[in-house]
């Protein structure tokens, strides 16, 4: 059937009539919501969705407001990156096995992509996966892995053929984070806390049934994950925005205002408003079935805005800006770019132009894929990975 606002709302109300969240276990409620197709309505039937247009998700959220949620802050990587990739490339068994506990939050996911020697140049990664019968044996080191210490599963890209050029010798796996040989160590950041981890993989044995996509097709599968990552980082509407937080500080501390800061703040307010309008227009284009290239720019704009606003706030605070709330080495359960205090916001925002594709790489992508400008001369494209200069 063709779903519309009324029929999705009707379905959500019918679901609530039969499932009283006050009388049910939280997880039982979430599982039932998934089974009713109201988890992510744009997913297929039987996999938590209705096969409905993506924008109708807002209708489901509205109708189910106030009921237990899946704590999206804890499972962002699963929701934003693993799920779309599993949906696009997983077998039926994989989709059935992984998507439901992923969405309910019973199983947390993390992402094993970046390595100490493979950041922007992800395709040069060195973690090896060697086939032994029905299993793959994985050895290597991954880095910048948020949620690795809480994760049940990971999405993993590993090199399965060093004898071909780097983009072609990769394969995509689901990695069992409880498997022997997986070691997670916290990685302390400039904020003082450890939101990320290093993950050492030593002789980790993964059954071939955990492979996602074809052998050697890992780069293409990873592109799906990365595009979704940038959408997730650049496009998530959050309740508190950096502009809102800094504006609150401005309003509550009239004695700190200066003309210079006022001019800069108003300019950033305009930038924030232009970014909001760009996102509105982008969503309209998507809804009309004409996805525009604007999406590639949103994360770039978001990073710059966050950095400038958070930097302005610390400067505005003068003596209070000289203090920092807490350098304790902690492992936060969720990431909140606008959480804690001004100093933390300033330092954490520095990561916004690095994580999920640096701003420099995003500019290359815009220049080459949107504007059609030629790439830099490449010396690494047609050379077997094992023969690349290191």
Q: Which residues bind other proteins (CB under 8 A)?
A: 247, 250-251, 254, 257-259, 262-263, 265-267, 269-271, 273-275, 277-278, 280-281, 284-285, 288, 294, 297, 300-301, 360, 362-364, 366-368, 370-377
* Kind of pairing between the strands at 109-112 and 153-159: parallel
CB 40 within 8 A of CB 57: yes
How near is the Cβ of 317 to other proteins at its closest, in Å? 15
User: In the complex with other proteins, which residue's Cβ is closer, 27 or 247?
Assistant: 247
What distance in Å separates the CA atoms of residue 382 and residue 385, rounded to the nearest whole number?
9
Q: Is 229 a residue of the active site?
A: yes
Q: Which three-class secondary structure state does DSSP give residue 198?
A: strand
User: In the complex with other proteins, which residue's Cβ is closer, 5 or 106?
Assistant: 5
Angle at 306 between CA 357 and CA 144, to 5 degrees: 35
What are 167's two structure tokens? 């983009």
What distance in Å separates the CA atoms of residue 36 and residue 12, rounded to the nearest whole number?
9
User: In the complex with other proteins, which residue's Cβ is closer, 164 or 261?
Assistant: 261
What are 231's two structure tokens? 């959408």
How near is the Cβ of 297 to other proteins at its closest, in Å? 4
Nearest CA to 155 out of 240, 225, 57 is that of 225
CB 98 within 8 A of CB 153: yes
249 contacts: CB under 8 Å, gap ≥ 6? 313, 316, 317, 342
What distance in Å separates the CA atoms of residue 147 and residue 334, rounded to the nearest whole number?
9
How near is the Cβ of 358 to other proteins at its closest, in Å? 11
User: Which of 229, 313, 341, 355 is labelled catalytic?
Assistant: 229
User: In the complex with other proteins, which residue's Cβ is closer, 200 or 269?
Assistant: 269
Alpha helix positions (H), the chain: 5-18, 26-35, 57-63, 76-77, 83-89, 92-104, 218-235, 242-252, 259-287, 295-316, 342-349, 359-365
44 contacts: CB under 8 Å, gap ≥ 6? 51, 87
User: In the complex with other proteins, which residue's Cβ is closer, 209 or 370?
Assistant: 370
Q: How far is CA 125 from CA 60, 77, 84, in A?
A: 40, 20, 23
How near is the Cβ of 193 to other proteins at its closest, in Å? 31
10 Å Cβ neighbour count for 350? 17
Q: Which three-class secondary structure state does DSSP give residue 145?
A: coil
Chain-centre distance for alpha carbon 305:
19
Point out the residues that are catalytic.
Answer: 229
């Amino acid at each position: 059937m063709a779903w519309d606002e009324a029929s999705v709302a009707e379905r959500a109300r019918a679901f609530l009539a039969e499932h009283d969240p006050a009388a049910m276990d939280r997880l039982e409620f979430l599982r039932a919501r998934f089974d009713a197709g109201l988890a992510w309505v744009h997913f297929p039937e039987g996999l938590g969705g209705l096969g409905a247009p993506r924008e109708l998700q807002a209708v489901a959220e509205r109708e189910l407001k106030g009921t237990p949620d899946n704590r999206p802050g804890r499972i962002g990587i699963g929701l934003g990156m693993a799920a779309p990739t599993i949906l696009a490339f997983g077998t039926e068994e994989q989709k059935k096995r992984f998507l439901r506990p992923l969405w309910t939050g019973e199983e947390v996911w993390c992402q094993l992509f970046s390595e100490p020697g493979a950041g922007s140049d992800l395709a040069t990664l060195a973690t090896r996966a060697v086939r032994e019968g029905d299993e793959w044996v994985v050895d290597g080191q991954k880095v910048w892995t948020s949620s690795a210490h809480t994760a049940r599963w990971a999405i993993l890209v590993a090199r399965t053929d060093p004898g071909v050029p780097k983009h072609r010798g990769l394969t995509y796996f689901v990695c069992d984070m409880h498997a022997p040989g997986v070691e997670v160590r916290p990685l302390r950041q400039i904020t003082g806390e450890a939101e990320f981890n290093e993950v050492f993989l030593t002789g980790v044995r993964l059954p071939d049934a955990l492979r996602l996509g074809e052998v050697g097709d890992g780069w293409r599968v990873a592109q799906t994950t990365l595009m979704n990552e940038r959408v997730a980082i650049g496009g998530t509407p959050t309740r508190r925005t950096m502009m809102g937080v800094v504006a609150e500080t401005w309003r509550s501390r009239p004695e700190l205002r200066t003309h210079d800061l006022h001019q800069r703040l108003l300019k950033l307010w305009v930038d924030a408003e232009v970014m909001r309008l760009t996102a509105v227009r982008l969503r309209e284009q998507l809804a009309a079935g004409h996805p525009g290239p604007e999406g590639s720019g949103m994360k770039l704009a978001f990073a710059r805005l966050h950095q400038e606003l958070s930097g302005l706030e610390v400067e505005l605070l003068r003596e209070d800006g000289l203090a920092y709330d807490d350098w304790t080495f902690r492992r936060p359960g969720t990431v909140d770019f606008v959480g804690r205090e001004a100093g933390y916001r300033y330092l954490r925002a520095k990561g916004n132009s690095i994580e999920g594709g640096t701003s420099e790489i995003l500019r290359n992508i815009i220049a080459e894929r949107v504007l059609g400008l030629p790439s830099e001369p490449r010396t690494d494209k047609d050379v077997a990975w094992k023969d690349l200069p290191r």
